[in-house]
Structure 1
């Protein structure tokens, strides 16, 4: 994962016209994770936006050039010092942010001006992130309360476009009228709304002794078809469960991407999980345990008919249970090299035809009995209809027979065994 301190960025930047963005030699933007007790409190996985002349409405990014973008995030660990990660992972030109602030959200696009601080990079108010790079901000002091919404506002460069996002955020975010509105407390002027995250890919807090569980996978981890703006994804429910169990020092971050596959890239659904695993999961500060739920799209997309124009299911790769198992083994080895425990989640029912259902069952049997994972999270057992085990329980079905609804996601959170929590706590 290419994460730069500001000193690293300085050697790559082109000269900038704005003095606020001009770079001068400075101390690194943040201490390395081995030198300070940083822990991931919130994160999201970005994916490139398809670059085509004609795109369906779902893939058209909002206009952000010279405007302010306000994004709402919910940290899962409390602390008094925060830093923000900004990503230009999929950019082809520099990502220019002329001002960045974090504030306590008061609902909608409004913020509390008494709890609003500027985010800096090498003590500068703006930053230009080179194509393909990520950068951590300076640490700044602000009271972060787990489970509470915070607004991250970024005033974008005059030529900036959105080329990457997290498409299914299940969260309403906001774009202002033209101009610098990062410090605006009122939500009245934020006319444009969008339901993605962009360029802000992580929020970490200084929290000695705290650790993080990473949830990574596809749309069922991403929380597709959960209630928007309500944080009803299963990782959200797990974070609430841990808070209720007085495990406040363990955060949960969600790196699911809807449509994602273990083995194949997609024009719409991001890089294959095995390619993004180190960056999106293992590089999170404070990660001690990973819950992996991936593979149903690998099984399904081969059967999807090709589409003219934007074919999000391309390539329509045929997979076997063994190919998925081999992919899991590679991720397990990668996690273990980093000293991180990894828990395999069984693939949930999806009303599949017999040939594809046979692959799902073979994969689940290996996850349960193969002994390669550090443990098993039996989401299949938690969600399946006992009378028809290839289907979701009716009470847990969102209505499409693939994705759980809010009640189903809550049941998934309860199915995470305490061994995962103990691993995250270092026990």
Structure 2
């Protein structure tokens, strides 16, 4: 349990009610555990008449089965739960993990996950909790089903909205042990509560990819793991690297400098929570800023305005934000590779901001390294646009081929050596 979780629990005079996992205590050596999969949460807008895109499934008294793909192998795993945006305790009556066998099906003999020796997990509002260590062979790149039987009053209040992965909700009841998919009638494409897996791997380390929808994999193929961090993890494996994990912490719509009612906290605010508090992270790849540039010019909407506030930014504003992130990372011994902003068919004024930011990323001595995603994706004849084969069709988000090209553009030796220092 982190200090933030403990403070949240004790501040509500509820310490005695919350399970404290012995493996997550302050005395536990943090180098034992390395993140193998993760995601970043965003709050769900809380207002009447939400568009269907923001309406969460009913999960109270039902079983939620979520499919995750670890990027680092191990034989001891623990699961991280978050109630970051909750106003009431998060209650999970039972939690299981098993190898996924396709769709909502899983292998028989799902492993029971405990918290301080108890099956029931209760996480205070704003808190988070690590499970006890679970003995289970984790194979990098293989799918695992995490099934949580939710409390009778549990609701969705936060999620990772664009998971590019189909997950499942059951009929009422505890179906966490079900190997067949029959009870799981409802599908959804978000992730909730489970925000991290870590394996016991003291000689390994993790790279955190953090940014907006281009890191999140927006418009990549559903259920295919074609986001650029996925492709980068596969590249590492092809090169024989079995000791470096890649954890995707992008949020679609996210901005560097401003919070959003739909797209999560500003990256300068969430960086500590989403990157620096994850076990084993040694390097961050930072790709953020195109939404800061664009949302100043999107029209205000009545009702739910996800792009609010429509704040204008300059290149100097964005650079100052990067400098904040870099300083915070360096204080914690984490290195930061800056990635150039990719082409987005911007009008001249906004394009000039993108180019100025990219020039700073390419030449700044404040970063620990640079990844030129812009050069990898741009059309040589029209450098303000994506190359045709790399464009998913909206002139902003790469296609599967474009995401693969991004992974190949990463200077492998530089990034891995940085992670090993």
2:50 to 55, 59, 78: 55
2:61 to 66, 91, 100: 66
Deviations 1:264-295 (A, max 9, x none): 00000000000000110111111111000000
| TM-score, normalised by the number of residues in structure 1 | 0.95
Number of the residue aligned with 1:18: none
Deviations 1:7-53 (A, max 9, x none): 985885759xxxxxx95887635244635510000000000000011
2:85 to 85, 90, 96: 90
Distance 1:6 1:148 in 2: 33
Contact 1:13/1:128 (<8 A) preserved? no
Number of the residue aligned with 2:339: 345
5 Å-filtered alignment, 1:232-311, equals 232-311=226-305
Distance 2:150 2:21 in 1: 24
Contact 2:82/2:193 (<8 A) preserved? yes
Number of the residue aligned with 1:216: 210
Change over 3 Å in CA distance of 1:269–1:3 after alignment to 2? farther
5 Å-filtered alignment, 1:384-399, equals 384-399=378-393
Number of the residue aligned with 1:410: 404
Contact 2:21/2:131 (<8 A) preserved? no
Change over 3 Å in CA distance of 1:103–1:11 after alignment to 2? farther
Distance 1:224 1:55 in 2: 21
Number of the residue aligned with 2:118: 124
1:178 to 164, 172, 178: 172
| TM-score, normalised by the number of residues in structure 2 | 0.96
Distance 1:186 1:346 in 2: 45
Distance 1:411 1:27 in 2: 42
Distance 1:71 1:13 in 2: 32
Deviations 1:207-226 (A, max 9, x none): 12010000000000000000
* 3-state DSSP of counterpart to 1:113: coil
Distance 1:9 1:153 in 2: 25
Distance 1:177 1:302 in 2: 43
Contact 1:10/1:25 (<8 A) preserved? no
Residue 78 (str. 1) matches residue 76 (str. 2): no
Distance 1:320 1:210 in 2: 39
Distance 2:390 2:343 in 1: 11
Number of the residue aligned with 1:34: 29
Contact 1:3/1:135 (<8 A) preserved? no
Contact 1:10/1:23 (<8 A) preserved? no
User: Following TM superposition, by how much is the alpha carbon of 1:4 offset from its aligned partner in structure 2, in angstroms?
Assistant: 6.1
5 Å-filtered alignment, 1:129-208, equals 129-208=123-202
Deviations 1:294-342 (A, max 9, x none): 0000000000000000000000000000000000011111111111110
User: Following TM superposition, by how much is the alpha carbon of 1:370 offset from its aligned partner in structure 2, in angstroms?
Assistant: 1.9
Number of the residue aligned with 2:312: 318
User: Following TM superposition, by how much is the alpha carbon of 1:6 offset from its aligned partner in structure 2, in angstroms?
Assistant: 8.0
Contact 2:98/2:107 (<8 A) preserved? yes
Change over 3 Å in CA distance of 1:13–1:41 after alignment to 2? farther
Number of the residue aligned with 1:113: 108
Question: Where in structure 1 do 4 or more consecutive aligned residues deviate above 4 Å?
Answer: 1-15, 22-27
Gaps of 5+ in 1: 16-21
Contact 2:21/2:132 (<8 A) preserved? no
Distance 1:385 1:123 in 2: 56
Gaps of 5+ in 2: none
Change over 3 Å in CA distance of 1:11–1:263 after alignment to 2? closer
Number of the residue aligned with 1:231: 225
Distance 1:89 1:25 in 2: 17
Distance 1:2 1:423 in 2: 26
